[in-house]
Structure 1
Amino acid sequence: MSIETCLENFVIPIKSVIEHIDVKGQDVSLAAPIKLSGQLNISKLLAEQWINTGQESDETALQIGVDEAGRGPLLGSVNVAAAILPKAWSGLIEAQPLQHTLLSILTDSKKLSEKKRDRLYPLVQQHAIGYVVADIPAAVIDQVNILQATLLGMRLCTEVLLEVMVSQSATAINDATEASRHLQAQVLFDGNRCPELDYLKLATLGIEKSTIDCQAWVKGDARHTSIAAASILAKVSRDQTMYELDSQYPQYGIAQHKGYPTRVHMQAIDTHGVLPDHRRSFAPIRRALENK
């Protein structure tokens, strides 16, 4: 199939529920399911993959930015997102690849007002080649600790996005080998470490380790457009879950504190008790439970 036959806005929804995870060859049953959702614009992906075919370099690799939101709160999930922007829009923020685009104000989500984040959220979804958001619930955070839960979310977002990219490309061009051969990706993780991907599993799909360049970037959400895009998706999606919890438990003031350990939040816990969505492994919640 030629690229020209795929020029329609062909968008593939991504939905996945993870209940078991392979960790170094061991099957681990999760305390609660991890839900992933997103989409891939296969038309945009194919067009980008066939730009400069045969020139394997940093300039021709797709950039996947990965970031999280919600490591510090006492309540609710930690959300992780992975996003792929068009190559022309990818790069260092200081180089202004987003100038004169609808995402021109994009930067680290923490530096933007909620109003600006909410404005950017649908624009990132609309213009990204693909994205995935993972919701890692409090029970999993308590099971493996917040660092490992975050790394797990980063791993799953990356793997799911890579798997869908190759499988859908193979379907579109009717050639699995050709689809995997054209995959070159830089995966840019916000933070000081990269998760350990399941390369054995990826290899069964034809995705070789040598085609995936994983990099950790401290404060990467303020440096790379793709990580900044992921930060918007992670932050706004987490805020949405907080508003949903607020509607269920209005007495806790969740819409204001978003689960962080503010005075109002701690007073609500003292008065009304610990919720099912509180992170029981976090010291303030653990103490609240001990003092019941």
Structure 2
Amino acid sequence: MSNQHFVESNMTLIDMSIEQVDIKGQYVQLAAPIHLSGQLNVSELLIQYAINKREDLAQSSLQIGVDEAGRGPLLGSVNVAAAILPSAWSGLIEDQPLKDTPLSLLTDSKQLSEKKRDILYPRVLQYAIGQVIADVPAAVIDQVNILQATMLGMRLCTEALLAAISKHLVNDVIETSHAISQIRPHQQVQILFDGNRCPDLDYAMLNEIGITKSLIDCQAWVKGDARHTSIAAASILAKVSRDKTMYALDAEHPEYSIAKHKGYPTRAHMEAIETYGVLSAHRRSFAPVRKALENVR
């Protein structure tokens, strides 16, 4: 993973365009780049999660929540996000670890209004120890199908955070004398995915940077954004970032009323496709769009 840029000593900015992916030992050229953006607060990571010999290891487990937005629409990218919250804020929503924190709105319910999501979005960006958002474009969805595109986005977000974590824990261990060798063998990283399956991570790559498969505990949680704070935080990032791309498309193509339907197959959207045609951002592999193209022919 190249193109990582660093700002200040305590913050890693993650900015990547992925054009090829290694899938089970074979490189696949993507139909369009997948863009990843985010950051890792290294200082907070070390303060909250670095293990010292005198500390209780059980209190230092690290949790990454991963969620997506936009699997159902006919238009635009599917957005995936991964988030690491402060250790005291990570856990089951029902246990109220976010009570009296800037993210307390996340404990209300899964069905947050757009107004509440817009309030939470900058707060998650500000207070998350690490976060990555992947924009998986329509061309990739058409290339590999929506399920595989979503799994790929989840995988890339997770691997980007793990790579940054490993790199900076190693670097800071030397300087701060924390008793860590990359991620210590008895310190598992929990990766919680919203949904009923986990993506296939590139364990060969992770092993090269010192994160063996035994260190990673992948869990799939149906409706996980209503159960785990880290998944809920990732859900906010994914949903709001996708909405932003929809508003940008709406500005370019106001006749489609994209700001209202956000790409979903509403009657107004279908009528706009019939009247104005299919945009480059439409998912051509989805049946309604495919049929519209066939009618044109």
Category of TM-score, reference length = shorter chain: over 0.9
**Structure 2, gaps ≥5 residues long:** 1-7
> Which letter does structure 2 place at the counterpart of 1:161?
L
Cα separation, partners in 2 of 1:109 and 1:42, compared to 1, 3 Å: farther
Cα separation, partners in 2 of 1:91 and 1:177, compared to 1, 3 Å: closer
> Which letter does structure 2 place at the counterpart of 1:208?
T
Q: Which residue of 2 aligns with 1:5?
A: none
Q: Which residue of 2 aligns with 1:170?
A: 170
Q: What's the offset of the Cα at 1:56?
A: 4.4
Q: Which residue of 2 aligns with 1:180?
A: 183
Q: How does 1:81-96 map to 2 (within 5 A)?
A: 81-96=81-96
* 2: CA distance, partners of 1:202 / 1:108: 36
> Which letter does structure 2 place at the counterpart of 1:180?
I
Matched, 1:208 2:212: yes
Q: What's the offset of the Cα at 1:177?
A: 6.7
Cα separation, partners in 2 of 1:235 and 1:78, compared to 1, 3 Å: same
Q: Which residue of 1 aligns with 2:200?
A: 196
Q: What's the offset of the Cα at 1:208?
A: 1.1
* 2: CA distance, partners of 1:200 / 1:107: 37
Q: Which residue of 2 aligns with 1:144?
A: 144
Q: Which residue of 2 aligns with 1:12?
A: 12
**Structure 1, gaps ≥5 residues long:** 1-7
Q: What's the offset of the Cα at 1:172?
A: 2.8
Q: What's the offset of the Cα at 1:282?
A: 0.2
Q: What's the offset of the Cα at 1:52?
A: 6.3
Matched, 1:66 2:69: no
Cα pair 1:56 1:184 within 8 Å, conserved: no
> Which letter does structure 2 place at the counterpart of 1:101?
T
TM-score with structure 1 setting the length: 0.93
> Which letter does structure 1 place at the counterpart of 2:223?
K
Q: Which stretches of structure 1, 4 residues or longer, exceed 6 Å deviation after superposition?
A: none
* 2: CA distance, partners of 1:113 / 1:191: 21
* 2: CA distance, partners of 1:232 / 1:174: 35
Cα pair 1:80 1:153 within 8 Å, conserved: yes
Matched, 1:232 2:273: no
Q: Which residue of 2 aligns with 1:31?
A: 31
Q: What's the offset of the Cα at 1:9?
A: 8.4
Cα pair 2:51 2:180 within 8 Å, conserved: no
SS at 2:199 equivalent: coil
Q: Which residue of 2 aligns with 1:159?
A: 159
Q: How does 1:124-143 map to 2 (within 5 A)?
A: 124-143=124-143
Q: What's the offset of the Cα at 1:110?
A: 5.4
Q: Which residue of 2 aligns with 1:43?
A: 43
Post-superposition Cα deviations, 1:74-117, rounded to whole Å, max 9, x if no partner, equal: 00000000000011000000000000101001158851111110
Cα separation, partners in 2 of 1:177 and 1:201, compared to 1, 3 Å: farther
**Comparing 178-187 with 143-152, which one deviates more in the overlay?**
178-187
* 2: CA distance, partners of 1:45 / 1:167: 12
Cα pair 1:109 1:232 within 8 Å, conserved: no
Q: Which residue of 1 aligns with 2:277?
A: 273
Seq. identity, %: 68
Q: Which residue of 1 aligns with 2:102?
A: 102
**Comparing 259-268 with 109-118, which one deviates more in the overlay?**
109-118
* 2: CA distance, partners of 1:9 / 1:120: 27
Q: Which residue of 2 aligns with 1:4?
A: none
* 1: CA distance, partners of 2:110 / 2:183: 36
> Which letter does structure 1 place at the counterpart of 2:236?
I
Q: Which residue of 2 aligns with 1:120?
A: 120
Cα pair 1:109 1:235 within 8 Å, conserved: no
**Comparing 72-81 with 10-19, which one deviates more in the overlay?**
10-19
TM-score with structure 2 setting the length: 0.91
Post-superposition Cα deviations, 1:129-185, rounded to whole Å, max 9, x if no partner, equal: 100000000000000000000000000000010001111222233379723327631
Post-superposition Cα deviations, 1:40-90, rounded to whole Å, max 9, x if no partner, equal: 000110012235657544x43111000000000000000000000011000
